[in-house]
Amino acid sequence: MILLGKKWRAALVLALGFLFLAGCQPSRQNTARPAPETVLYVHGYSGGKGSTNFLINYAVTHAGATKALVATVSGSGKVHFTGRWPQTATRPLVQVIFQQNRDPDPAHLRLWLRNVTRALKQRYGVTKIGIVAHSMGNNATLAYELRDGKKPGQPQLVHYVAIAPSINGIVDPKHRGCCAHRHHGQRDRRAVHA
């Protein structure tokens, strides 16, 4: 059995996740081509460009994807796009970067991701999205989907790959999430339950 380091295991999982997303496309036999699904890569706590670059490059090289944009989101929620949106992209990828990458507040994460999806719809006509999220990026995805994802006019999430999600719940700003603290094998009574 080959043993891989934590970073390589995470990279492999993300790459496989993208390949899964790419394989979930409906067959297109002699029909009008639907608008392509845009895949967002959302980093985890303290992450940045380096967190998802390998995965995006792998998808570009091996799955026919096109890295279209980097969406950088300020702490106030302002979205700045860099890159160019090719008109012929069949699998456009957007790398999402939160400048406040150590802010686990679900309200902030939801707002930031919602602003990215709104801007993608307004500027590029994106109506369907897939998300590959790592760690805190899953908190952003779930908070967005629960609050804004089904609202009319928002791009619809059609595929989602969760890598190392916070399965014990979304942690509050004081880091007292469900089961996050243990005392002599017992659950912390201060735990916050969502």
Residue linked to tokens 């629960």: 146
Q: Nearest Cα to 91, choosing from 121, 128, 134, 116?
A: 128
Q: How many CB atoms lie within 10 A of CB 23?
A: 8
Q: How many CB atoms lie within 10 A of CB 57?
A: 14
pLDDT in tens, 107-147: 999 999 999 999 999 999 999 999 999 999 999 999 999 99
Identity of the amino acid at 126 = V
Judge whether residue 49 has pLDDT over 70: yes
Sorted by sequence, the CB contacts under 8 Å of residue 63 that are 6+ apart come out as 18, 19, 22, 91
* Cβ-Cβ contacts under 8 Å for 21 (sequence gap 6 or more): 37, 39, 130, 132, 159, 161
In 86-188, alpha helices (H): 106-124, 136-147
Any idea what the Cα angle at residue 194 is, between residues 13 and 17, rounded to 5°?
15
Place of tokens 């279209």: 68
Q: Is residue 96 predicted with pLDDT exceeding 90? A: yes
pLDDT at 102: 96
- pLDDT higher than threshold 50 for residue 45: yes
78: CB partners within 8 A, 6+ apart: 115
Q: Quote the DSSP letter at residue 26.
A: P
Q: Give the predicted TM-score (pTM) of the model.
A: 0.72
Backbone angles phi, psi at 182, to 5 degrees: -125, 145
pLDDT of residue 123: 94
- pLDDT band for position 168 (cuts 50, 70, 90): low
Band of pLDDT at residue 59, cut at 50, 70 and 90: very high
